[in-house]
Amino acid sequence: MNKLRVLKQFVGLKLRGKFQSREALLAYQETKWQSFVQSTLSKSTFYRPYIQGDKVDRHGLPIIDKAIFMDQFNQINTVGIDRDAAMDLAVRAESSREFDSTIDGITVGLSTGTSGKRGLFLISAEERESWVVMVMDRILPPKWFRKQKVAFFLRANSNLYTSVQSAIYDFQYFDIFQPIQTLAEALLVYRPDVLAGQPSILLALADILTKGNTQPSPWKPMQMISFAEVLHPEDATLLKHVFDAPIREVYQCTEGLLGVSCDHGTMHLNEDNLIVETEWIDEHHCRPIITDFTRKSQPVIRYRMSDVLKIKQTPCSCGSPFLAVEQILGRDDDVLWIGGERVFPDVLSRKIALATDAFARYEIVQTGETEIHVNIQSNHFEETKAAIAAVLEEYLSPIHEAPLRIHWHATTFNPTLKQRKIRHEIQHKIH
């Protein structure tokens, strides 16, 4: 990675300043899109047939999803990398826990996502530099005269993440396949300024460091960063209380760095890199269809995400014209189907949080039309069970004629897996 180019990009981004209006942002996107078509899409055999003339209407291109993205991997990417070769390399890196996977200078990464379905991403050295610039600008603002120690808790390391290592950032990777107690002990030795990980890992660390939330944490970071899973409001509140530090939420997945929460706590999509189309489910909820005009190795064009976003109805007080997200609710199958109606997970999780103060990790899994399993990990199992039972009875029974069969399980959670508090495993689709 060329650190001089990173610094130049960072300074250029700062000098560009903020967009003063939504109209200015849209004009910027259109200019970048048309330039991207000629410089990048023309190199993709998948998209080349759609390029006719100097200007290309984005809406004339197909909407794709993860299945198409992976099926057409060889045709979509512009660097001639074969999917099977890339997958073999990424799987071997995952198994060996040695994450220096490159083909002809292109970083190859593997993602299982919350669905467990494999995904591959390709990142060039230039794209890694741009990612570092975004991290510096929106996630980890540099402190030029003091190196920040950053602890990243990840299931798999990557050249992309280690790119932040520099004179101003000391990056340390914590492999979450190690025992969580061991990781907590190592964390207390390292004592980073910034603690970054998925919410389930952060909560597990909080539980260990406070001995079940009964003692103060022996160490506190200056900032936390949450990514990879939905950060539920009640979990954010607990983490802020335990660590006495602000928490910034990052919306990143195989498809790229999609959004970051601002200083006011609102998630904004990175629309200076993305064009976001909204596919509305109802008045407030949508699935985003994203077009990234910065991804050159592996174009992400009109890609329908499986995430469900709740869009903020009022402008954020930070003044950003970027699309504001009130909450990332998770994937389509994080929605329960009760009596033919959708029940979004934020409704139940908030009611449960109001019903009990007992710290617990739980999963509510719908396995059939009337079948629900509730897995609870807590020292207060009966209290948590009673609270969840009351919420399910109050909210679900009136919208379902047949009695619901609820099965209760005391369990432990695997911290190496992404946690989803509420989901269904039945064959329904949101239209």
pLDDT in tens, 3-20: 788 889 889 988 888 898
Closest listed residue to residue 335, CA positions, set 307, 375, 371? 307
β-bridge mates for residue 197, sequence order: 226
Closest listed residue to residue 284, CA positions, set 346, 340, 229? 346
Q: What is the pLDDT of residue 428?
A: 46
Buried b / exposed e over 139-163, threshold 16 CB at 10 Å, is bbebeeeeebbbbbbbbbbbbbbeb
Closest listed residue to residue 46, CA positions, set 77, 80, 75? 75
- Please report, for residues 328, 345, 365, the alpha-carbon distance to residue 422 in angstroms, rounded to integers and kept in the order given: 13, 6, 6
Q: Which two tokens stand for residue 148?
A: 């920040």
Phi/psi at 35 (nearest 5 deg)? -65, -40
What residue spans define the domains of the chain?
A: 1-330, 335-424
DSSP string, 174-189: EETTS-HHHHHHHHHH
How many C-beta atoms surround the C-beta of residue 38 within 10 A?
13
β-bridge mates for residue 108, sequence order: 122
Are 155 and 174 within 8 A, CB to CB?
no
The Cα 298–Cα 430 span in angstroms is 28
pLDDT digits (tens), the chain, 431 positions: 677 888 898 899 888 888 989 999 999 999 999 999 999 999 999 999 999 888 899 999 999 998 899 999 999 999 999 999 998 888 887 777 766 788 988 988 877 554 446 778 899 989 988 988 999 999 999 888 889 999 999 876 666 666 677 778 898 989 887 888 899 999 999 999 999 998 888 988 998 999 877 788 899 999 999 988 888 888 899 899 999 999 999 998 878 899 999 999 999 999 999 999 999 988 888 999 999 999 999 999 999 998 889 899 888 999 999 999 998 876 665 678 787 777 766 667 767 877 776 656 788 888 888 889 998 887 778 888 888 888 888 878 777 677 788 999 988 766 656 666 777 777 544 43
Q: Name the 3-class secondary structure at 97.
A: coil
End-to-end CA distance of the chain: give it in Å, rounded.
Answer: 44
Q: Which two tokens stand for residue 412?
A: 């432990």
Are 327 and 307 within 8 A, CB to CB?
no
Q: Name the 3-class secondary structure at 400.
A: coil
* Homologous superfamily in CATH for domain 335-424: ANL, C-terminal domain (3.30.300.30)
Are 297 and 77 within 8 A, CB to CB?
yes
- Give per-residue pLDDT as tens, 355-401: 776 656 788 888 888 889 998 887 778 888 888 888 888 878 777 67
**How many residues are present in the chain?**
431
Q: For residue 228, which amino acid is it?
A: A
Q: For residue 408, which amino acid is it?
A: W
* Angle made by CA atoms 281, 294, 72, in degrees to the nearest 5: 70
In the CATH scheme, what architecture does the domain 1-330 have? 3-Layer(aba) Sandwich (3.40)
Closest listed residue to residue 352, CA positions, set 399, 326, 384? 384
- Please report, for residues 65, 181, 216, 362, the alpha-carbon distance to residue 211 in angstroms, rounded to integers and kept in the order given: 43, 11, 9, 19
